[in-house]
Amino acid sequence: MRLPEFIRHHVDRIVDEWEEFARSITPAAEHMDSVALRDHAKVILLAAARDMTTAQSASEQMAKAKGDGHEKTPSLDRAGASHGELRHTVGFDLVQMTSEFRHLRACVIRLWVESLDSPDVAYFQDMIRFNEAIDEALAESTAAYAEQVNRSRDIFLAILGHDLRAPLQAVSMSTEMLMRKATLEGDALACANNIKRGARHMAVMVSDLLELVRSRLGKSLPIERAAMDLADTAHTAIAEACAGNPECDPKLTIRGDTRGLWDGARLSQLLQNLIGNALQHGSIKQDVTVTLSGEADTVRLTVHNYGTPIPEDALGTIFDPLVRSSDEELGQPSTSLGLGLFIVKEVVNAHQGTIEVTSSEADGTLFTVTLPKNASAA
């Protein structure tokens, strides 16, 4: 009996063994009934049998073996993905979930081989096709499981970031009130200023964390466009970036008309992150330069600093989330989660602009942002 026919005739027996194995996966399976344990096993098996009877060329077989095949089996993929999602929900870890497929593969091959009297070459082709089908189901199941893990993590981070805002605001407001109503001197004043700066840095990190989660949950960065002058925002952003830092003195140069329709709060966030990055990594804080150049339809913003250049192999990932610089990885003090430049890129994208970075020992590091003055809302 060919393998697809064998699977169809003995599907219930095979699923019984699947259930028996799944029941041994504790503690996740301890409170699961038979229906939950069997889950999508029968659908996966029958879809695999159908896939095996579908004509397949040598090139298609080679592509599928590499995971590159475009012709998939929808019912097999849906069943595999649903299985991965449900196993995550009930508490299976990834190793336990994938072990079910390993056992399923071994069970089917063992039962089928035991039933054979005189196998021929075609039977080995059946085994190859069956393995391909199970691998496809496993790939879809694993991908769906991983997506659920990532989504659960992002939701947790969103809740954490949201809940941190209230106590952080209480610390900030209490510090402000204390500094206004009490006469603080010496060490007491220094401690109060440290608390104020620490709360400000924490607020930035919480905000960046929430923007990261929003992006990973598939939501674009919201912006509210209004007529504004980027020069005014630049002055304010520099003042805020340098608050509490006496060595901070970026040079601001403005040329042409810098007015447009943008989200002022988001561009202030962009500027503070770029200036903060330049101050942190620049060799001389006074050499940080911010330039605004108004052109006919765009405004070009550049932030430049001298210092250790960004390695060439890091330029391609510098805007990725949670990427840290080499000095941060070596334990240098930082108030960043590695999200600042990621947020910058998100703000630029939301305004339909572009951002580029160049970096060398001789010329320093230069970030160039180009923003359309009147781009339509996304």
pLDDT at 328: 47
d(CA 108, CA 351): 55
Lowest-pLDDT range of 124-128, 161-165, 230-234, 313-317: 161-165
What is residue 93's predicted lDDT score, i.e. its pLDDT? 82
Side-chain half-sphere exposure of 302, counting CA atoms within 13 A: 16
Residue 304, helix vs strand vs coil: strand
Q: If you average pLDDT over residues 140-153, what whole number do you get?
A: 78
Instruction: Report which of residues 115 and 338 the model is more confident about.
Output: 115
Q: Please, which pLDDT band fits residue 5 given cuts at 50, 70 and 90?
A: very high
Mean pLDDT, residues 71-95: 82
What is the spatial distance between Cα 292 and Cα 302, in angstroms, rounded to a whole number?
7
**Nearest CA among 213, 174, 83, 176 for reference residue 137:** 83
Percent of the chain at pLDDT exceeding 90: 25
Tell me the per-residue pLDDT of 255-309, one tens digit each, with 9 for 90 and over.
999 999 999 988 988 998 898 888 888 777 668 899 999 999 999 999 999 988 8
Residue 336: which pLDDT band, with cuts at 50, 70 and 90?
very low
Q: What does the mean pLDDT of the chain come to?
A: 82
Segment 162-168 mean pLDDT: 72
pLDDT computed for residue 330 by the predictor: 40
At 226-239, the pLDDT tens digits run 999 999 999 988 88
pLDDT score recorded for residue 285: 62
pLDDT at 376: 65
Is residue 65 pLDDT above 70, yes or no? no
Measured from the Cβ of residue 265, the count of other Cβ atoms closer than 10 Å reads 13
Tell me the C-alpha distance between 214 and 352, whole Å: 18
**Predicted local distance difference test score (pLDDT) of residue 333:** 41
